[in-house]
A and B are shown apart, each in its own frame.
Chain A
């Protein structure tokens, strides 16, 4: 499995974890009767907090992932070659983490799917309001749709890495 695929899986897992944490916390509060669906301030505060948590979690997990990946490269190289020089390690890590035009193309194509899913969530949210559901339902649909979009984006990236990608 390539570096790009591993990184995509880590991103997907981070997104899934943050989404799961949000659902457990937010809907747990509603089920416990602590907040009502109409309390927009609670939903705005919670969603903003989880957007922040998502950003921080992504940065922290990416740093840990890169450290572990570098350690993995060093260990593999040491086992294979016996001894390793610092320059060799640096070169191997850099070679492993190269990002080129194919990665960018895959990222763009996958991003399009993710954004489309988020857009569908927004339209679904508007329909929910039209059908008489509280505004908090719309907020949740939009937030969950964008979060799911991020996870689906990862799946699309993995698909393109496995099946290949065309420019057109």
Chain B
């Protein structure tokens, strides 16, 4: 059975600790649209590696502190 990778993120928490950074501010820092930040934060879109690095860079943290991956064994494809 193939493994299923569920990607989650801590963007909301990181925004809070970054002096309640707005989604617009984060979007501008990462060079993406606010719509994309909203979708990523809500778990509706998984960004590319490059975008993930840019978001992490906007917070000044590593990519592992922004995104997390849980593996579900034996998930249906």
Contacts and interface: CB of A to CB of B under 8 A. Distances in A.
B60 interface: no
B34 A101 contact: no
Contact of B35 (A161, A163, A166, A167): A161
Given A95-B24, A164-B44, A166-B46, A101 B51 contact: yes
A11 B20 CA distance: 36
Contacts, number: 50
Contacts of A4: 33, 35
Q: How large is the interface on A (under 10, 10 to 19, 20 to 34, 35 or more residues)?
A: 10 to 19
Contacts of A3: 33, 35
A23 B40 CA distance: 42
B8 to A, nearest CB: 14
A105 B47 CA distance: 11
Contacts of A39: none
A59 B44 CA distance: 32
Contacts of B43: 164
Contact of B33 (A98, A166, A167): A98
B27 A98 contact: yes
A100 B33 contact: yes
Contacts of A95: 24, 27-28, 34
Interface string B2-35: 0000000000000000000000100110011111
Nearest to B44: A164
Given A2-B35, A101-B51, 19 more contacts: A2-B33, A4-B35, A99-B33, A100-B33, A101-B36, A101-B47, A101-B48, A102-B33, A102-B35, A102-B36, A102-B45, A103-B33, A103-B35, A164-B39, A164-B43, A165-B39, A165-B44, A165-B45, A166-B45
Interface of B: 24, 27-28, 31-36, 39, 42-48, 51
Interface of A: 2-5, 95, 98-103, 161, 163-167
